[in-house]
Amino acid sequence: MKKYMIFAFLASLTACTQEIPEPPKNTVNMENAANPPAQPNAVPEVNDANCKFEYMKSIKDKHIQQTLADNCARRNTTVKPTKHKPWVF
């Protein structure tokens, strides 16, 4: 029993003398708060020159590239009725 009391006493002494480690500081978030990210570039105007595949391929920002491609695909979306064709079976 005496051994256990000495062990408990020594364990409590070592627990009390240990320093609590300081949590690491996250400097990346502090830097981002001080320097907000730059605003993304604007999507280029939809025209014949900008809707060419070579120009779209040269855009590095994938979001802007996809938005321009979507806008180019939709630029001539006028719905026109078609003439009825009689089908013969």
What is the rounded distance in angstroms from the CA atom of residue 61 to the CA atom of residue 63?
Answer: 6
pLDDT of residue 67: 93
Structure tokens that stand for 60 in this block: 């590095």
* pTM for the full predicted model: 0.44
Give residue-wise pLDDT tens across range 67-84.
999 999 888 767 677 788
CA distances from 58 to 18, 62, 69 (A): 59, 10, 12
- The CA–CA distances, whole Å, from 85 to 73, 80, 81, 82, 88 equal 28, 15, 12, 9, 9
Per-residue pLDDT tens, the chain, 89 aa: give them: 677 778 777 777 666 666 777 777 766 655 555 655 555 578 889 999 999 999 999 999 999 999 999 999 888 767 677 788 788 87
Q: Which of 64, 48, 47, 65 is nearest to 56 (CA)?
A: 65
